[in-house]
Amino acid sequence: MPEEQYQNHTSAPMVVVKRSLLVFILIMSLIMGIIGGAGSVYILANSSGTNSLGIKSPLTLPVTQQVTLEENSKFIDVAKQVSPSVVSVASSKDVMNFFGQTYQQQGGGTGFVVSNDGLIATNKHVVSDSGAKYSVTMSDGSTYDATIVAVDPFFDFALIKISAKNLKPITFGDSDQMAVGQWVMVIGNALAEFQNSVTVGVISAKERNITAGDSTGSSSESLEGLIQTDAAINPGDSGGPMLNLAGQVIGINTATSFDAQNIGFAIPINVIKPAVDSYIKSGRIIRPALGVRYMVVNQQIADAQKLPVNHGALIQNSSTSGSGILSGSPADKAGLKVGDIVTAVNGQNVDENHSLSRLIQQYAVGASVKVSYYRDGKEQTVNVTLEELKK
């Protein structure tokens, strides 16, 4: 019994202490909760981040809100700034059906103003039907007949002209400076119905190579070095601008994927600038050429044909197009031959992501470039003067 009484006796004060401590903790928690709650409300209301106790709060919610507002403001500013320079391009053509009835076939795309006297940039595939009539509708609703004045022989790009004055040209940016993850805005004539629709997203990737075709599958084209974005690019947006947050065009919308959501592609503006410059100077788009037909070399091709390198452009004849070396071309004059493997241009490797044709497009007609190539297992170099590409 004495032992039991001792245990009971000693346990009672411990219970009292525990209860007192619990009550004390609950009271202090309630007090601190009130203080903390008041401070939280104040922190949300006070952009300075100082709470009621005069302590600088580490919370960054107001800063985050400010950044969000700044980004939204940028989007709004760019849309207002650029929309007057974005136009809808419409096509119409009389077509006879199986029963001999004539109806008007219509299509549409987008373009943007590049000079104040009515020069407009768009995609080549937007104005590809030579039998169609084209018109341009400005953001203010005014409509003009349009004439195709130049078609790029290498890229999906064309220039059309309207009889208008005092237009607002778009400003060109530098697509080489754009980074993956950077915000972009797309403006276009969505579905050829919703003029100057705006979408935003980020650059998902650069240097994408794709094969693009129309909805009927009747035509296709290989496109290289494209900007990929998750900003929605819809049918009808083709030829419209992809913009940075400074309101500068850094790409021309050219394709979208129907097998996935929000995967679209744009031609970098830096490969279009020379075409615009050459048209303004000479009245036509001039592109340089080496004058060869070739097969892109990769590891699989190298293994199959036992080639000395796993990248480059293997010059070869074509059963449909003819000789791998065009007669009188820069390549012909420089002594290049069928069977040579061109591996670099001015030290930049030729590979699947950097085709020979695309590397040549970085230079102007008349430029001299150093071409590296393999012949009979030995690497050699030769200087080649580029001439105008003629098709």
Residuewise pLDDT in 10s, the chain (391 residues): 333 333 333 333 333 344 554 455 555 555 554 444 433 333 233 334 444 444 444 445 555 556 556 667 899 999 999 999 999 999 998 888 878 788 778 889 999 999 999 999 999 999 998 889 999 999 999 999 999 999 998 899 999 999 999 999 999 999 999 999 999 999 999 988 889 999 999 999 998 988 876 655 556 677 888 999 999 998 899 999 999 999 999 999 998 887 767 899 999 999 999 999 999 999 999 999 999 999 999 999 999 999 999 999 999 998 777 899 999 999 999 999 999 999 999 999 999 888 898 899 888 899 999 999 999 989 999 999 999 977 6
**Which letter, b or e, does each residue of 188-206 get, where b requires 16 or more Cβ atoms within 10 Å of its Cβ?**
bbbebeebbbbbbbebbeb
Q: What span, in angstroms and rounded, lies between the C-alpha atoms of 271 and 244?
A: 17
Give every CB contact of residue 233 below 8 A, 6+ residues apart in sequence.
186, 188, 199, 253, 255, 256, 264, 265, 266
Q: Strands (DSSP E) along 21-156, which ranges? A: 86-96, 102-113, 119-122, 133-137, 143-151
Side-chain half-sphere of 295: how many Cα atoms within 13 Å? 16
For the entire predicted model, the pTM comes to 0.73
Q: In whole angstroms, give the CA distance from residue 85 to residue 136.
A: 12
| pLDDT, position 220 | 67
Distance CA 216, CA 232 (A): 21
Residue of 294, 300, 304, 307 whose CA lies nearest to 350: 294
- Rounded to 5°, angle at Cα 59 from 56 and 62: 100
Residues recognised as catalytic:
125, 156, 238
